Amino acid sequence: MKKFWSALLLMMLVLSMIFGVANAEEVSQITKKSDENGVHVEIPYTMTVDKTGKSVTKQGSIAENRVSPSADYAIQYNAIFDTTGGNLVYGYRIVGMYGAKPTRATITIAPHISTTRNGSYAQYGSRTFNVTSFNLNKVETTTENLYGTHYWRIKIDARTYWSDAIGYEQNLFPDYTLLINTKGVEYPTYTDPQSGIRLWEPPTNLSVNQRSADWNYRQNFKDYYDYSFGTPKYFTWDDTHIHHMQPLKYGGLDVVYNLIPVWKTGAIPQNGIISHTVLNNWWTHY
C-alpha cells in the first residue's frame, strides 16, 4: 500500500510539472502591495472540471484547489485591482493551467463600492474580456477614473470553454474589502501595541462639520491612557500626537474613544507606532 501511494504521489508530481504551471504569484492567499502610491491586489480564482463534466469554482490558487484525482483540467484567473497610478485599473491575469488549454472564455471583472465595510455594494464599473488565447501571465486590463473615497470589492464572472465546447461558469463575489481614498491610497489598519486601541475605520460619506478641539483634550487623554494602560512603553508623550480618529473637520469629538496616540510629524516612526503624517495624508484626500 505504501508503494502504491508513493507511486501515486510521484505520478501527480510529474503531471504537475508537465501540465500544471505555477509561478511566484500562484499562492493560496490574496496578494497585495499597498503603500503611499496606491494599492495593487490580485485575487485568485480556480475552476476545476472533472471527467464527468462537473465543475467546481473556488477562491484560491490552482495548486490549492486541484484536489480531486478525477480532475480533467483546471484554470486559475487572478482578478486584478490597481490604483497605484492614481486611476482605477482592473482586469485579469492567467496564472495557472492544468490539462488541456481552454479554447475561449469570457471574463467580466466588476468593481463594487459601498459607504461602509459591511454595507450594500453597488457596481462602479464593469469590463468583459473575450479571451481566445491562453498563455501564462497573460494580462488584460481597463482603466477608469477614480472618483470618491469608497469601500471596494471585486466580482468576477467567467465562462470558460474547453474543446468539448461546454462553457463552465464561474461567479464569485468575495468579501475581501479595501477602503481607498480619492488618491487611490488604502486606509491603514493599526492597533496601538500597548493599549490595544484600534484605529477607527470611517464611513465614506462624512460631511464637513469643522469644530475646534477642547484646550485640555490632550492632558485628559494622557491621564486616561496612563491610568488604564500604564506608562507608555513604546513612545514618549513629548513625541506623540493625539490623533482624532474621526477628524475635527468632520465633527470628531475629544472623547477618549475617538483618540489614539501616534508619532507626531517630525518624529521618527519606530516600535510599530504609526505616524500622524500617514493618517493626515490619507484624510487630505478623503
pLDDT per residue as tens digits for the range 169-207: 777 888 899 999 999 999 999 999 999 999 999 999 999
Mean pLDDT of the chain: 86
Would you say 138 and 94 are in contact if contact means Cβ atoms under 8 Å apart? yes
Burial label, 69 (beta-carbon count in 10 A; 0-12, 13-18, 19+): exposed
Q: Assign residue 183 a region: left if phi > 0, alpha if psi is -120 to 50, beta otherwise?
A: alpha
pTM given for the model = 0.84
According to the model, what pLDDT value does residue 1 have? 44
> According to DSSP H, which parts of 88-241 are helical?
217-229
pLDDT per residue as tens digits for the range 216-247: 999 999 999 999 999 999 999 999 999 999 99
According to the model, what pLDDT value does residue 173 have? 83
Smallest CA-to-CA distance from 158 within 74, 65, 40, 69 is with 74
